[in-house]
Amino acid sequence: MGDLDTRVAERNSEENQQWMCMITTLSLTHSDGYVLFGDDNAIPVPDHLHNWYDFWDADLGQPTQEKAVQYQDVAELFIREYEKGWVVYNRSGAMRTVTFDEPVIGVNSGKRNSRHEIPDFDGEIFRKTDKD
């Protein structure tokens, strides 16, 4: 049997969490689907196990915007609005800054601001905040 603790730790590595965030934001900006990271079937049982990532708990509500909307005419920088926030996916080839009319909270970064930097080949989920 494969080493379960090693496999769970691998799925929780910083690199794999960044990949899952990027793939999740791609999915949320470009589709109404979802993503799942499971073990391959090459490892002896138990296999095809899954981790749950904290950013998947972000309650965004329903989408209120069309899929794959380009942010401020920047090629390969996409945003999609939801009832309770926004999702941004960056594949532009450079770090990009997105600006909101009000402070929002980056689910991964934990930062509350109206301006947020998104690295290339990455994304972020933003939650609306109370105006009080």
pLDDT in tens, 29-56: 999 998 887 766 666 666 667 788 999 9
Predicted structure pTM score: 0.89
Tally of residues, the chain:
132
Q: Is 76 helix (H, G, I), strand (E, B) or coil?
A: coil
Q: How would residue 2 be classed by pLDDT, with cut points 50, 70 and 90?
A: low
Residue 24 pLDDT more than 90? Answer: yes
pLDDT for position 1: 45
pLDDT for position 124: 98
- The distance between the two most distant Cα atoms of the chain, rounded to a whole number of Å, is 54
The one-letter amino acid code at 16 reads: N
Q: Is 16 helix (H, G, I), strand (E, B) or coil?
A: helix
| Alpha-helical regions (H) of 12-114 | 14-30
pLDDT tens-place string over residues 61-119:
999 999 999 999 999 999 999 999 999 999 999 999 999 999 999 999 999 999 999 99
pLDDT for position 38: 72
Q: What does the buried/exposed string (b/e) look like for 5-40 if buried means 16 or more CB atoms within 10 Å of the residue's CB?
A: eebeeebeeeeebeebbbebbbbbbeeeeeeebebe
Domain 4-128 in CATH 2.60.40.1180 = yes
